[in-house]
Structure 1
Amino acid sequence: MQTFAPTDGREPGALGALLAEIPPEHIALAQEALAEVGDAAGSRTLVALADHLSFAIKRHRRGLQLEYPLQAEVAHLYPDELARARRILAVVNRRLDAQHTPQLPSAEAVPIALHLVNAGFATGDLSLTYTMTGVLGQLFEVVEQTYGRSFDTSDVNAARFITHLRYFFVRARTGRQLHDGQLAFGTAMRTAYPEACACALRLRAVLELRLDHPVSEDEVTYLTMHVARLTTPDRDG
């Protein structure tokens, strides 16, 4: 018997109320799918996935299908999570097929991937992940427009940039932006990579507009560093 305990600051009663609304077989389905693909998920992720699957199954039985507008962004920004989500969905659909229950459409891998992305954060609020995904896509558009070319997000420097931005969102949300006083480093970065610095300032403008919160100078310095690494991979950024 598995015990569920909140790990994100929510009241135990809130988790209990959510669990009470999910059929036990859907909790078991989520647990089996995560286990089969080797995804060691905490209680929060398991419950969130079970809740999503339960609602998706009920919707699908009624012939209701949702369109997910972030499909392109998820595929572009989170290829690893999307690959894992597709494996989870494949396990779920095998179980549903064995139960003579209609299988879920392939598009359901998108919200499952977002739940996996969300698992990496201290917050259980999926709305942050939706907002972050849309803004990340916009930020990459700014970089691509600045340099006049597209970037492969499977590249190690792109992956580092995405990871940095993902955790910037968490820092900004919790009021813990970087304030290391890296004045000399920032000056050196602006001198060595003026185009990357100009791009980072454009990224800052987008972030401040979308998040309605100022972005610190140190955060701009690190944005400059990651843009430089992304756009000049043959040099030591």
Structure 2
Amino acid sequence: MNILRVFNNNVVLAREDDGTEVILTGWGLGYQTRPGEPVDPAKIARTFRPVDDQDPDRMAAQLAGLPTEHVQIVGQALVAAGLARLAANPAVVVAMADHVGSALSRAASGQALEYPLLAEVSHLYAEEYAQGQALVEQINERVEVPLPASEAVGLTLHLVNAGFSAGDLSYSYRMTGLIQQFLDVISQQFGRELDVGSVNVGRFITHLRYLFVRIHQRRQLLDQRHSAVGVAIRDNYPEAARCADLLGSLVALRLDATLTEDELSYLALHVARVTA
């Protein structure tokens, strides 16, 4: 494995024998080295493999711009919390390390950040919220000034955001608010309170998360003509279909995206299930 680019003493971009570009971190890994030279494997602390369309150079530059100790703390905490897969994703580590750095600064100065989405996050993303709480515990074992428990909300949103391709949390914030609004609209339309802990509502939330990923990636379900399954759903569940149309109008307002007919039909099917 040879060095492609040295970003600082602790971060380099390298090419593996199969041609894959990876980001390597480690104390002194880049010290007095040049492109083309072999990497000293004894100095490698962590290997990051960019995924999807992530630019290795940009990811490496962002990692190099963060305090090394914050990157290490986040990487170690992710592994200890059972999230080793994310610990190898540079985009996730960059976003979390930046967040943790700010959170540690707030904690050191005695400031506490109140997250208005605590109730929504803990209910809508129960699995990620538990992981976020575990991350706070693991981070606090590695720092002098502990983070407040409320930081689990911010870390949870980063975990949710990882499903989109990590960056700022604006889309995840909008998605969280929109999911809660969907549940409120359905409750109002059908005159009943939805049980967020039920299997059907859980499946609905999962469907919405994947729907928002498809919207974000511009890969909605699409049929040139309304599919036979979609027509059948609308014919069998007319009230749910009307509610789905209303939800579609909220997507247009909040996300500036028009749902396809098939997306609306499957949305109607989930509405029918959660209100059965």
TM over 0.5: yes
Structure 1 position 117, deviation (Å) = 0.8
- Indicate whether 1:133 and 2:176 are aligned: yes
Tell me the distance in 2 between the aligned counterparts of 1:4 and 1:65: 32
Secondary structure at the counterpart of residue 153 of structure 1: coil
Aligned to 1:235: none
Aligned to 1:84: 131
Tell me the distance in 2 between the aligned counterparts of 1:150 and 1:34: 36
Aligned to 1:18: 62
- Indicate whether 1:106 and 2:149 are aligned: yes
- Residue type at the aligned position of 2:186: V
Higher share of residues assigned helix: 1
Aligned to 1:186: 230
Aligned to 2:257: 213
Structure 1 position 168, deviation (Å) = 1.4
Alignment of 1:67-78 (within 5 A): 67-78=114-125
Structure 1 position 66, deviation (Å) = 1.9
Tell me the distance in 1 between the aligned counterparts of 2:119 and 2:268: 26
Would the aligned equivalents of 1:60 and 1:104 in 2 still touch at CA under 8 Å? yes
Tell me the distance in 2 between the aligned counterparts of 1:227 and 1:22: 44
Secondary structure at the counterpart of residue 105 of structure 1: coil
- Indicate whether 1:149 and 2:196 are aligned: no
- Residue type at the aligned position of 2:207: H
Would the aligned equivalents of 1:8 and 1:123 in 2 still touch at CA under 8 Å? no
158, 162, 170: which one aligns with 1:115:
158
Q: TM-score, normalized by length of structure 2? A: 0.76
Would the aligned equivalents of 2:95 and 2:168 in 1 still touch at CA under 8 Å? no
- Residue type at the aligned position of 1:132: M
Structure 1 position 217, deviation (Å) = 0.9
Q: TM-score, normalized by length of structure 1? A: 0.88
Distance 1:87 1:19, change over 3 A: same
34, 52, 55: which one aligns with 2:99:
52
Q: Deviations for 1:65-89, whole angstroms, at most 9, x for unmatched residues?
A: 2222221211121011001110111
Q: Which has the larger radius of gyration?
A: 2
Structure 1 position 58, deviation (Å) = 1.5
Higher share of residues assigned strand: 2
Q: Which runs of 5+ in 1 are unaligned?
A: 233-237
Would the aligned equivalents of 1:84 and 1:113 in 2 still touch at CA under 8 Å? yes
Would the aligned equivalents of 1:204 and 1:220 in 2 still touch at CA under 8 Å? yes
16, 27, 51: which one aligns with 2:71:
27
- Residue type at the aligned position of 1:120: G
Would the aligned equivalents of 1:61 and 1:102 in 2 still touch at CA under 8 Å? yes
Structure 1 position 187, deviation (Å) = 2.6
Percent identity over paired residues: 47
Structure 1 position 200, deviation (Å) = 0.7
> Which one has more relative contact order, counting CA pairs under 8 Å at least 6 apart?
1
Structure 1 position 52, deviation (Å) = 1.3
Distance 1:183 1:228, change over 3 A: same
Aligned to 2:247: 203
Tell me the distance in 1 between the aligned counterparts of 2:104 and 2:244: 43
Tell me the distance in 2 between the aligned counterparts of 1:67 and 1:8: 34
Would the aligned equivalents of 2:164 and 2:216 in 1 still touch at CA under 8 Å? no
Would the aligned equivalents of 2:240 and 2:271 in 1 still touch at CA under 8 Å? yes
Question: CA-atom RMSD, angstroms?
Answer: 1.8
Secondary structure at the counterpart of residue 3 of structure 1: strand
Q: Once structures 1 and 2 are overlaid, which stretch shifts more, 218-227 or 52-61?
A: 52-61
Q: Deviations for 1:191-224, whole angstroms, at most 9, x for unmatched residues?
A: 2212211211111111111122221111110100
